[in-house]
């Protein structure tokens, strides 16, 4: 077996649709207030895809930016992984649609479904193909058009989510850099806390499933909240235990952007100042698979990350899934 290679992010990009939906506008749509949304979640606005804009359209735009950032041609990509819970279609995969659209003529392509943990699942999965020496470049995308599966009459969910996409190119990096530890977990017993019950093979789409609004996202918010505040510290401790790196050595944590209260509670539990958690949920809301990459891209552009920094990415969400990865940043920024 060939020597295991070090794998890191060599390029990143993101894209959000133009249309901004503010809390003030939501006040005119459902029985809610800007004050409630901001105090309970931290979200002020989110982006909404156009009627004719689907998951792959957002994914392609993010992917092209990541390719440019990595100075990589589409034909150099060996594999495309798209993490999404809002694919264009049940099949073909959104990854295959992206493969065609960006001209990645040599790439394999598949979708990955781990909801809000999907970006971390995708990075770890993609990295292993490169670590073995079998592939050289992998494109990992988190893309969501969540507005298409939101019940715009349900105030419990419609104020939380937004649309967007982020993409990372993985490649071999200097020894000792890149992904140095990871932890992926699932707790399927909590699947009913966050789901889209209609439209699959359990409840195929019928007039009745539509009438019962089963094609919309459903969430038991408090159950997911309770899960998240223990899942984040657990998975971060798991990745640190596998290394000799201490929590105090971490320069930045890029968490899934669901709720500033969840992030605040997790920060306390792992004894890291909340300022070390990068947050942009105020402007994009919860974009599920896209959120960690969107935050990472923004953090890089704001010079919050430099070469040699230890960065943690951590996600949690439907499945239930959770997980994290620790990266020693290798790219000069
Ligand atoms: O990305 C996947 C992971 N998802 C998450 O991480 C979400 C986790 N959950 C949460 O972030 C929070 O549970 C929510 C933000 C969803 C809800 O916050 P909460 O503090 O748990 O509120 P709640 O569900 O306990 O609701 C409190 C009250 C209820 O009214 P009553 O029963 O106390 O009269 C709700 O009906 O707030 C009401 N409420 C609203 N009021 C105004 C629920 N949604 C709204 C709303 N505007 N949009």
Residue 253 CB partners (closer than 8 Å, separation 6+) = 236, 267, 272, 276, 277, 278, 311, 312, 313, 314
- pLDDT number for residue 3: 87
Residues labelled catalytic: 116, 256, 286
- pLDDT number for residue 286: 98
Dihedral angle sign, alpha carbons of residues 57, 59, 61, 67? negative
- pLDDT number for residue 279: 98
Q: Is the CB of residue 226 below 6 angstroms from any atom belonging to ligand 1?
A: no
Pick the closest to residue 64 from 104, 92, 124 (CA basis): 104
- Boundaries of CATH 3.40.47.10 in the chain? 7-176, 179-328
Of ligand 1's listed atoms, the one at least distance from the Cα of 41 is 15
- pLDDT number for residue 331: 82
Structure letter (DSSP) for residue 93: -
CATH class of the structural domain 179-328? alpha beta
Q: Report the distance separating Cα 144 and Cα 162, nearest Å.
A: 8
- pLDDT number for residue 1: 59
Q: Please list the residues that pair with 252 across neighbouring strands.
A: 311
**Ligand 1 mean position, distance from CA 221 (Å):** 6
Q: Is the CB of residue 159 below 6 angstroms from any atom belonging to ligand 1?
A: yes
- pLDDT number for residue 19: 98
**Ligand 1 mean position, distance from CA 156 (Å):** 6
Residue 123, CA atoms < 13 Å, CB-side half-sphere: 34
Pick the closest to residue 277 from 303, 311, 301 (CA basis): 311
Residue whose CB lies within 8 A of the most ligand 1 atoms, among 28, 162, 225, 317, for a mutation test:
225
CATH superfamily label, 7-176: Thiolase/Chalcone synthase (3.40.47.10)
**Ligand 1 mean position, distance from CA 154 (Å):** 11
Per-residue pLDDT of the chain (333 residues; tens, 9 = 90+): 578 999 999 999 999 999 999 999 999 999 999 999 999 999 999 999 999 999 999 999 999 999 999 999 999 999 999 999 999 999 999 999 999 999 999 999 999 999 999 999 999 999 999 999 999 999 999 999 999 999 999 999 999 999 999 999 999 999 999 999 999 999 999 999 999 999 999 999 999 999 999 999 999 999 999 999 999 999 999 999 999 999 999 999 999 999 999 999 999 999 999 999 999 999 999 999 999 999 999 999 999 999 999 999 999 999 999 999 999 999 876
Of ligand 1's listed atoms, the one at least distance from the Cα of 156 is 44
**Ligand 1 mean position, distance from CA 39 (Å):** 11
Q: Residue of the nearest CA to atom 14 in ligand 1?
A: 221
Q: Is the CB of residue 320 below 6 angstroms from any atom belonging to ligand 1?
A: no
Pick the closest to residue 230 from 314, 325, 118, 116 (CA basis): 314
Q: Residue of the nearest CA to atom 16 in ligand 1?
A: 221
Structure letter (DSSP) for residue 5: P
Contact present, 126 and 9 (Cβ < 8 Å): no
Q: Report the distance separating Cα 21 and Cα 190, nearest Å.
A: 30
């Amino acid at each position: 077996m060939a020597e295991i290679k070090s794998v890191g992010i060599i390029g990143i990009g993101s894209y959000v649709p133009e249309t901004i939906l503010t809390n003030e506008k939501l006040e005119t749509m459902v029985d809610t207030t800007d004050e409630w949304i901001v105090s309970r979640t931290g979200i002020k606005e989110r982006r909404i895809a156009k009627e004719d804009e689907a998951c792959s359209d957002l994914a392609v735009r993010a992917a092209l930016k990541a390719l440019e950032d990595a100075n990589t041609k589409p034909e150099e990509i060996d594999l495309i992984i798209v993490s999404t819970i809002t694919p264009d279609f049940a099949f073909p995969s959104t990854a295959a649609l992206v493969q065609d659209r960006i001209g990645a003529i040599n790439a394999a392509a598949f979708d990955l479904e781990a909801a809000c943990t999907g970006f971390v699942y995708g990075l770890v999965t993609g990295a292993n193909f490169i670590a073995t020496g079998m592939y050289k470049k992998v494109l990992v995308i988190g893309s969501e058009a969540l507005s298409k599966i939101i019940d715009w009459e349900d105030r419990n969910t419609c104020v939380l989510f937004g649309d967007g996409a982020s993409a990372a190119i993985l490649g071999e990096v200097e020894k000792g850099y890149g992904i140095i530890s990871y932890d992926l977990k699932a707790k399927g017993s909590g699947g009913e806390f966050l789901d889209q019950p209609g439209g699959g093979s359990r409840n195929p789409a019928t007039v009745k499933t539509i009438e019962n609004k089963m094609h919309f996202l459903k969430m038991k918010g408090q159950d997911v909240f309770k899960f998240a505040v223990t899942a984040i510290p657990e998975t971060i401790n798991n990745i640190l235990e596998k290394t000799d790196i201490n929590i105090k050595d971490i320069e930045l944590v890029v968490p899934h952007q669901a709720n500033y209260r969840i992030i605040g509670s997790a920060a306390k539990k792992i004894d890291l100042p909340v300022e070390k958690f990068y947050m942009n949920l105020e402007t994009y809301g919860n974009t599920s698979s896209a959120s960690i990459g969107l935050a990472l891209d923004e953090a890089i552009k704001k010079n919050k990350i430099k070469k040699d920094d230890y960065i943690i990415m951590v996600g949690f969400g439907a499945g239930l899934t959770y997980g994290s990865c620790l990266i020693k940043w290798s790219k000069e920024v």
